[in-house]
Amino acid sequence: MTQTAATPTTDTTTSDRAPGLFDPITLRGTTFRNRLWVAPMCQYSAEREDGVPTDWHLVHLGSLARGGAGAVIAEATSVTPEGRISPQDLGLWNDAQLEAFRPITDFIRSRGSVPGVQLAHAGRKASTFRPWSDEQGTVPADQGGWRTVAPSAVAFEGYDEPAELTISDIAGLVEAFRLAARRSVEAGFELIELHAAHGYLLHQFLSPLSNRRDDEYGGSLENRARFLLEVVRVVRSEVGGTLPLLVRFSATDWADGGWNEDDTSTVAAWCRDAGADLFDISTGGLVSGVSIPVGLGYQVRFAEHVRMNAEVETGAVGLIVGAAQADEVITSGRADVVLMAREFLRDPHFPLRAAAELGVELDYWPAQYQRAPFRLS
């Protein structure tokens, strides 16, 4: 892959062999100790419904860093109050949130992992009840909900109709992403991911199924990608040239006439030129009622497609559950990083166990746990 000033420098190994799961990777000025990272996972547990992280987030995210992950990326963190998925989601639109994140990033860093945050806006999928609520759909105003916004006044199935964003509204949201990126750095995060997947606002602009605009933010692929590219550029300008910037895409809507992997590859290359470094490739979430062929590693092929066609670094996600499976994704060159979610919920120490299964010796086993290393014999 050709390197430019806007793309990362990838430092793999000191030999000619293909990198493996536990080889380091360097993006811009940050070296990650391995290629097994924690994907963002919403916890719906913010304090007082004001977007402030709690002790739950400290213990949850800290345990994942203690378990040996190369990076720990905090859940979808909204750039505005109205961008939260639920009233209990995290935010980075004020300094109280920033201050509450600092002990969390400090602890993640102290365990040798890179603290990251996913900046997001849920758009028409905001103001929802959290998953374990007895109710579903849009939270009404008298229960702490709000009117949602979107590129077009097209509702997600089962949710209230959103208000269509004006041009000035869009400019305000670009600025909100910039300010949230500034607070991210001040809070101690060393990696930022922009959430343009799973049917949330940036994805809503990208897909013709949710973007029915006829102005400069709708219609052609260039126009539908305009908002995302403005956000990438302003965040890169705000954080400088050394902090890694990721974009999470849903590579397909799994629906006729929707966003697809070729669109993703094209826009990923544009984002690379605008200052993004690596692309976290998931799928779906924009529309309901679609048929998705779920199975082990079912989304890896999309990370491989984008990697090859856009000539960018990618991360693979989606039912990657075992050490050998994750290592094969890297050694085969299908992706540069593996991000896991559910497996980390089941076992926060999965990287330490995976290393033992693969016969890799690590020097970051916690000293406090030396009496209980994973042994296969």
Which pLDDT does position 18 carry in this prediction?
78
| Of 156-170, 257-271, 354-368, the least confident | 354-368
Flag whether pLDDT at 110 surpasses 90: yes
Q: What is the 3-state secondary structure (H, E, C) of 78-133?
A: ECCHHHCCCCCCCECCCHHHHHHHHHHHHHHHHCCCEEEEEEECCHHHCCECCCCC
Sorted by where each starts, the structural domains of the chain and their CATH numbers stand as 30-369 (3.20.20.70)
Q: How far is CA 352 from CA 63, 70, 181, 365, in A?
A: 12, 11, 31, 7
Q: Residue 278: helix, strand or coil by DSSP? A: strand
Q: How many helices (H) and strands (E) does the chain have?
A: 11, 12
Decide: helix, strand or coil at residue 180.
helix
Residue 314 has pLDDT above 70, yes or no: yes
Spatial CA neighbour of 117 closest among 56, 175, 180: 180
For residue 2, pLDDT over 50 is answered with: no
- pLDDT for the residue 15: 54
- Report, as an integer, the average pLDDT of 73-94: 98
Q: Which residue has the higher pLDDT, 49 or 32?
A: 32
Model confidence over 335-368: pLDDT tens digits?
Answer: 999 999 999 999 999 999 999 999 999 999 999 9
The answer to whether 217 is a known catalytic residue is no
Residue in 44, 200, 298, 369 annotated catalytic: 200
